[in-house]
Structure 1
Amino acid sequence: MGTVETLAAAGIGAGDEVVVPSYATADAAEAVRRAGAVPVFADIDPDSLCLDPAAVAAALTLRTAALMPVHLFGRRADLAGLRAVADRCGLIVVEHEPHEPVGPLDEKTRRRQANAAYLNARLRGVVTPATGPGVEHSYRTYVVRIPGNGRPDRDAFARALRARGVRCRIPVQTPVHRLPAYRRELWLAETERAADQCLALPVDAALTPRELHRVVAVCNALGGLVPEPA
């Protein structure tokens, strides 16, 4: 059953609000609209880049009917924390795209995790993905933060990487609440910070040791900050 059908089966529609992340694609917000409800945007946790339960709790109104977490980049949202918020308020939690169940990892996922571990241990001058006991991460996308003056430094860093032959991309160009179709006058501090700082580096299973070494060498040579040309 798809997200729209799940919402409809729960009786969620016109007049209802569903809390979704803005730091994501617009797919979750669009599913809410297709069900006839209104998407309400809440801020993210700076480590997981997924919905922050405390921010969700602050965004609830009398019209809130559901919470819709989105698992990003291979990192799982805090479902336990979100369900605790939902249970207190009689809401339901609908995962936009359920996280793959824990089980035997395929070879590509193992390679990505190994590549990510290599990068985590060697990269300097960038903030690597938060990890720790109990944190599941399949590294579908390897997202770092570029410290400094937000978007200008991140964009300059990305241009410098590409000029030196290292692939990279901006994982979320514009938060959903800034898109014309969903525009809201909100200030979501962690969402804005992530949109300005985050950069996706290559971590795919096909990378060779030489390519991984080059990613590290180029990033570390840049030192995390690249000045704009005068």
Structure 2
Amino acid sequence: MGLGHPAVGLQRALTSAGVRAGDEVIVPSYGTADVVEAVRQAGGMPVYVDIDADSFCLDPAAVEAAVTPRTAAVVPVHQFGHHADMTRLGELAGRRGLFLIPQETEQSSSVETAMRQANAAFLSQRLSDVITPRVRPGVEHTFHQYVVRVPGNGRPDRDAFARTLRAKGVRCRVPVQTPVHRMPPFRRDVWLPETERAADECLSLPVEAGMTRRELQRVASACNALGGLLQPA
């Protein structure tokens, strides 16, 4: 990892906060391995906690249930541009004497963010057969990714949906193929139902700032045309 890598900054923040070898650090499994690697480099022991189904960020109730006398810190991740519930997590951290150390987030200009938000709103108004992103009241979503859930029978239907969209020229990708707790270097025997469900159902659709309304409508039309092919179980 280079000095500019986000995990390096997080590792330094953990070390500066006082995380020491053997301390437990609560992290999400739904995302990249960068956060877990930073915790390990700082000497901490990652503890995987489930996400909130709407925001894809750490579920504060699950965080509280995971706290032990060895817990030193919580690392929220603002997933896909949706901010974690820092109010509840901050209150929890203060009450339980924990460090609250968010992962550094991707920065964009206010103009780019506003354009993505407008594009996301356009798609959400027109998509009819996928579950569009939900934004918690009072929380900003910058839509670094526009992530929908594909209804049906989980991963097989989601993957079939994605293949058909790509064949129609729509750029889409699975945002998290494998939760970190199931990756061989970081594997832990834990059951995180919302994390597993998100990994099986979610698909990221294009919502870049430079997209035209015609391009966005093409994405919506391609998705809506598949509504009759993939039905909820």
TM-score under structure 2 length normalisation: 0.91
SS at match of 2:81: coil
Q: What one-letter code is carried by the residue in structure 1 that aligns with 2:126?
A: R
SS at match of 2:27: strand
Q: After the TM superposition, which residues 135-174 of structure 1 pair with which residues of structure 2 at under 5 Å, given as runs?
A: 135-174=139-178
- 1:205 maps to which residue? 209
Pick one of 25, 33, 36 that aligns with 2:40: 33
| C-alpha displacement of 1:226 | 3.9
| C-alpha displacement of 1:11 | 1.9
| C-alpha displacement of 1:89 | 1.1
- 2:116 maps to which residue? 112
| C-alpha displacement of 1:100 | 5.9
Identity %: 62
Task: Work out whether 1:12 is the aligned partner of 2:16.
Answer: no
Task: Work out whether 1:24 is the aligned partner of 2:28.
Answer: no
Moved over 3 A (4+): 98-101, 224-227
The 1:23/1:210 distance shift into structure 2, 3 A limit, reads same
The 1:13/1:224 distance shift into structure 2, 3 A limit, reads farther
CA contact (8 A) 1:147 1:224 kept: no
Matched pairs, number: 224
- 1:178 maps to which residue? 182
- 1:61 maps to which residue? 68
The 2-side partners of 1:225 and 1:154 are apart by: 12
- 1:49 maps to which residue? 56
| C-alpha displacement of 1:180 | 0.3
Q: What one-letter code is carried by the residue in structure 1 that aligns with 2:88?
A: G
CA contact (8 A) 2:77 2:102 kept: yes
| C-alpha displacement of 1:28 | 0.7
Q: What one-letter code is carried by the residue in structure 1 that aligns with 2:27?
A: V
The 1-side partners of 2:199 and 2:125 are apart by: 24
For residues 113-160 of structure 1, give each alpha carbon's deviation from its aligned partner in whole angstroms, at most 9, with x where no partner exists: 111010011101100000353131111100000011010110000001
Task: Work out whether 1:127 is the aligned partner of 2:134.
Answer: no
For residues 39-96 of structure 1, give each alpha carbon's deviation from its aligned partner in whole angstroms, at most 9, with x where no partner exists: 1100000111000000111111221100000111111001111112212211110011
CA contact (8 A) 2:82 2:135 kept: no
The 1:52/1:100 distance shift into structure 2, 3 A limit, reads farther
CA contact (8 A) 1:157 1:224 kept: no
Q: What one-letter code is carried by the residue in structure 2 that aligns with 1:32?
A: V
| C-alpha displacement of 1:13 | 1.6
Unpaired segments ≥5 residues, structure 1: none
TM-score under structure 1 length normalisation: 0.93
